[in-house]
């Protein structure tokens, strides 16, 4: 593996670590059209993300997404 590639990968890793620490304790709001089983599956995917980063995810489901995006 070349030194440039290793340096790049280490830089990306460190940037990710610093960004995670900077956003820990923050909240991200996700707006989607999922409900029921789709929403449940999405939230199961979110749980490991929240545990790993300390970032809380708030999900708001709606079927009127085009209306919300145009207002």
Q: What are the residue ranges spanned by the domains of the chain?
A: 25-71
pLDDT at position 16, please? 59
DSSP, res 24: T
Residue predicted with more confidence, 42 or 69: 42
What pTM, to 2 d.p., does this model score?
0.58
Residues 68, 50, 18, CA angle at the centre, nearest 5°? Answer: 100
* SS3 of residue 30 by DSSP: strand
pLDDT at position 71, please? 74
Q: Residue 63 — φ and ψ, nearest 5°?
A: -95, -5
Confidence of residue 65 (pLDDT cuts 50, 70, 90): confident
Q: Tell me the per-residue pLDDT of 9-49, one tens digit each, with 9 for 90 and over.
A: 666 665 655 566 667 778 988 888 888 998 898 899 889 88
């Amino acid at each position: 593996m070349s030194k440039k590639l290793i340096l790049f990968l280490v830089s990306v890793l460190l940037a990710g670590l610093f960004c995670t620490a900077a956003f820990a304790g923050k909240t991200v709001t996700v707006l989607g059209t999922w409900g029921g089983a789709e929403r449940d599956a999405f939230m199961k995917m979110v749980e490991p993300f929240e545990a790993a980063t300390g970032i809380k995810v708030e999900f708001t489901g709606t079927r009127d997404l085009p209306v919300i995006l145009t207002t």
